[in-house]
Every structure is written in structure tokens, then in C-alpha cells.
Structure 1
Amino acid sequence: MKNHIKKFRSTAKLSQAELAKRCKVSRQTINAIENDKYDPTLQLAFDIACVLGTTVDELFISESIEE
């Protein structure tokens, strides 16, 4: 699953560590999600979207939809 977390995080001027802290996960988790190495749980996806002031639909793109 592709995502736009890095773009939204940069716009919000948040580091990976700060986003992780606000979402109650490790910085490594945020890094893995941004680099498409890990798909977050639905709850974490909603938490990230909330912190970044957007929706899950705006953050995540299903690869099957892109094709």
C-alpha cells in the first residue's frame, strides 16, 4: 500500500519522531510505513491521519486501485 505520509508530515513540519510520539508508536514504525515496509493497523492509520489533519483516504492509496 502506497502512502503520502512523508508529504503531509513535511507540510505539518513534524519529524518522524514527533509523529510517532503523537501516535504512540516508535519512530521506526513511522519510518517503515513511509517506506512501504509495513502496513499500519486501521486504528494507527486513523491516528496518523488525525495528527496530520487529513483523512485515511488522502494518506493511503491501494496499489490495486492505481493499476
Structure 2
Amino acid sequence: MASKRREQMASTPVAQAVREARQRRGWSQLELANRAGVSRPTVARLEAGQQVTMTTLGKVATVLELQISVSLKNRSA
């Protein structure tokens, strides 16, 4: 069950976008971390679909030239 949950988390759109952008540049997780000013475990967590701060996501997105867009929806609708 834990393995299936990890697979689902790893397939989040954010995790996929970050991983694919990093790989297109030929960067390791460590190189991305150094360029973004975050730790390598933070990059690994982000690529695994785990929670990171918006500040961290912003730093990583900036160096990868990714645009962040946020959509807010009313839960009671």
C-alpha cells in the first residue's frame, strides 16, 4: 500500500514538471538544489510529490524557468 501511495504522489503534476525540467537540462538533483539554494533532500521531496513551502517551490521553478499558477476553488460549490 505504501508503495502505491508513493507512486501516486510521484505522479503529481508539480512533481512531474520539476523532474522533467531538471532532466531536460541534464541536471542532477544536487545541481538543481545548488542552483536554487535549497537542499538536495528538498528537491527529492518535491519530486516525490511531498509538501514543500511556496518559497521553495518558487526558487526551484525560477531556476527551471517554470511558471507557477494557482487555482482556488470553493469547496462548497
Q: What is the TM-score normalised by the length of structure 2? A: 0.63
Q: For structure 1, which runs of at least 5 residues remain unmatched after alignment?
A: 61-67
Tell me which residue corresponds to 1:31.
44
Which of 10, 28, 34 is 1:15 aligned to? 28
Give the total of aligned pairs: 57
RMSD: 1.9
Structure with the largest fraction of strand? 1
Cα displacement (A) at 1:45: 1.1
Q: What is the TM-score normalised by the length of structure 1? A: 0.71
Between structure 1 and structure 2, the one with the greater Rg is 2
Q: For structure 2, which runs of at least 5 residues remain unmatched after alignment?
A: 1-8, 71-77
* Higher-RCO chain (CA-CA 8 Å, sequence separation at least 6): 1
Q: Which runs of 4+ in 1 moved over 4 A?
A: none
Identity of aligned residues (%): 30
